[in-house]
Amino acid sequence: MTAAGTRHGSSGQPWRGIDISATGQHWKFKIETLDQLDADGRIYWPPGGKGFPQIKRYRDELKGLAVGDIWTDIDKLNPKAAERLGYPTQKPEALLERIIGDRHQPHRREHHRPPHEAHTGRAVAEANRASVNR
């Protein structure tokens, strides 16, 4: 609902008691549009007046396809797998490669916590990214 930088037009004006310019931002919509969105029930107001209002978005209004939350095409790590490092929470490299590949751009730095997730470094390297330890 907000964007960086102040504006002097309608989108930079206070709305419903929130002086957005004081935060160095502006509304993404004109005040009239915000009023209409609120009247239509399209604005979420955090409880207790804490935080900023947020626009409600519904799946059927968005472009693209929803990402499935269950991936059954990647097998779990078996006890004798060559990639196994002996950590009980270790994830298969194929899963890490999918997550890293889906969420990040090439050559972007990835952070991980060694040593219990040391296999992440290998997946990151194979995805052409620089690995950074915390």
CA distances from 67 to 64, 71, 102 (A): 9, 10, 10
Confidence of residue 125 (pLDDT cuts 50, 70, 90): low
* pLDDT, tens digit (0-9, with 9 covering 90-100), for 6-20: 999 999 999 999 999
Q: Tell me the torsion sign for CA atoms 41, 1, 64, 97.
A: negative
| Position 131 confidence tier, pLDDT thresholds 50, 70, 90 | very low
* 93 and 119 Cβ atoms separated by less than 8 Å: yes
13 vs 71, higher pLDDT:
13
The model carries a pTM of: 0.49
pLDDT at 120: 56
> In whole angstroms, what is the distance from residue 16 CA to residue 19 CA?
9
Pairing mode, strands 110-112 and 131-133: parallel
